[in-house]
Structure 1
Amino acid sequence: MKLFRDHLDRELQIPTFPQRIVSICPAITETLFALNVQDQVVGRTKYCIFPKHQVEALPSVGGTKDVSIEKVRALKPDLILAEKEENTKETVELLSEIAPVVVFEVQTIEDSYRLIRDLGAVSGAQPAATKLEQEARMSFDSLPKVSGQPSVLYMIWRKPYMAVGDTTYIQATLKALGFQNAAKPLDGRYPEITPELLEELKPDYLLLASEPFPFAEKHKQEFAEFTSTSKPVLVDGEMFWYGAKMTEAAHYFKKLFENNESFIIDNDTVKKVR
């Protein structure tokens, strides 16, 4: 056993080389596979869908907010990995009676780099984590940027409409891409957006994410009924995940910007994309 301090500043006794890991956060599960420790992972949530086809063989323990404690117990884990926003405090407390629960918290890009390093530390895959962090940094160092700091609302839900606010990893990514988040000054991390508030904020763009609510082409017209000044753009919400997905970000956003003529791009940043 070894001592480890998680992102909530809790000191935990965890296995030096865990053999039965349950991950209850999708980005963490994907990153564990990227670190090539999938043989140590014995359970995941139904929302842990990456890497595609490879995770399907792992038993599901429910959703991120409704983890089945008994299903986790049956897997006999020696380590459980959670994330503060994705999973509830009650779930972490209940699971702590089964095995040590390391809780991560990712609100910034630097937090995501720390997550990669710490996943390497807790799983015994430090060299792979160092390599993955380097790849993620290279990707984010070469992110293309829009010019003029246009304002955006990043929409994640419908009925009620909800957007991404401050102190979130998505907010940090929007900033890195050159956007100003129109929801940043609003109360809450995921504020509700009424048609009246949308008209008041008048963002230049509405980024309609593919998850957790699956916005699609038909929803563009829906928003057009509320505003004539905001350009709706469909985006792959999974490209705003932290961890392993960071390595794909630069190429995705370069293609997104090139395929939408309404974006005015800083050409120097596009040339940096590797």
Structure 2
Amino acid sequence: MPPRVVSLVPSLTEAIAVSVPGALVGATDWCTHPAGLDVTRVGGTKNPRPDGVLALAPDLVIANEEENREEDLAALREAGVEVLVTEVRDVPRALRELDRVVTACGARTRPRWLDEAERTWTELPPPGQRTTAVVPIWRRPWMVLGRDTFAGDVLARLGVDHLYATHPDRYPRIGLEELRAAAPDLVVLPDEPYRFTPEDGPEAFPGLRCALVSGRHLTWYGPSLTQAPRVLAEALRGVPR
């Protein structure tokens, strides 16, 4: 029998569910994949209910150092629960952490999707001419990708260099006028964590090319990594000049 697992990270929830059926007993309200996942919900990634987690008697809780708060994880550890915390900054590290997670959750063999994801990212063709971009992740206030982020590494491997990659903060607040004045080749607008849409986002950047992209394929590390290069490349290429 696999261990009883609660996942506090949406992308890892998907990875565990498809790799170790029956292991998951709990997940966050934001864990939307795979569709129809039938487990107990324990709150959000930033505000899980510790009593709800403990009521499930998990053998293991899966968390991420960026998505989850240390005080919540400490409370679970103090209650005697083992907590596995992942740290992801780029695609190679994501692949290693995914292997570690599914193994800890009881996978007896390496999942095929993980092998496919590794091949997909290892065999990417050279991106050719590079594009500069700003990548908002929130508005009111405007926040963008900064240094040392998984999404930034994904884009860089696809030939897109975001302009705040060397900013001291990982997710800096940058005023809209400064973002416009940076004059990127492209503004990349994902649909999460802020849900940018054709009506909410592009209008803030008149005269600049905007690409609406899947946040799951840009920011999640899990089975979506097998499709991410194709899905993102199509969205980026499809932007009218």
Aligned to 1:160: 141
Aligned to 1:74: 55
Q: 1:146 offset after TM fit, Å?
A: 5.0
Q: TM-score, with normalisation over the residues of structure 1?
A: 0.82
Among 26, 46, 54, the alignment partner of 1:43 is 26
Among 29, 32, 35, the alignment partner of 2:13 is 29
Q: 1:200 offset after TM fit, Å?
A: 3.3
Whose Rg is larger? 1
Provide the secondary structure at the position in 2 that maps to 1:185.
coil
Aligned to 1:183: 164
Aligned to 2:35: 52
Mapped partners of 1:99, 1:18: distance in 2: 16
Mapped partners of 2:150, 2:203: distance in 1: 27
Residue 106 (1) aligns with residue 88 (2): yes
Per-residue deviation, residues 88-128 of structure 1 (Å, max 9, x unmatched)? 11011011124100101111111111112102320221413
Contact 1:115–1:243 (CA<8 Å) still a contact in 2? no
Q: 1:170 offset after TM fit, Å?
A: 0.4
Question: Mind listing any 5+ residue stretches in structure 1 that lack a counterpart?
Answer: 1-16, 263-274
Aligned to 1:122: 104
Cα 1:65/1:178, change in 2 over 3 Å: same
Aligned to 1:260: 239
Aligned to 2:197: 216
Provide the secondary structure at the position in 1 that maps to 2:63.
strand
Cα 1:126/1:168, change in 2 over 3 Å: farther
**Identity over aligned pairs, percent:** 30
Q: 1:212 offset after TM fit, Å?
A: 0.9
Q: 1:149 offset after TM fit, Å?
A: 1.5
Aligned to 1:141: 122
Q: TM-score, with normalisation over the residues of structure 2?
A: 0.92
How large is the Cα RMSD of the aligned pairs? 1.8
Per-residue deviation, residues 198-253 of structure 1 (Å, max 9, x unmatched)? 1332211110110111101113453235xx3x311111111011122101113313
Matched to 1:119, the amino acid is V
Q: 1:38 offset after TM fit, Å?
A: 2.8
Q: 1:34 offset after TM fit, Å?
A: 2.4
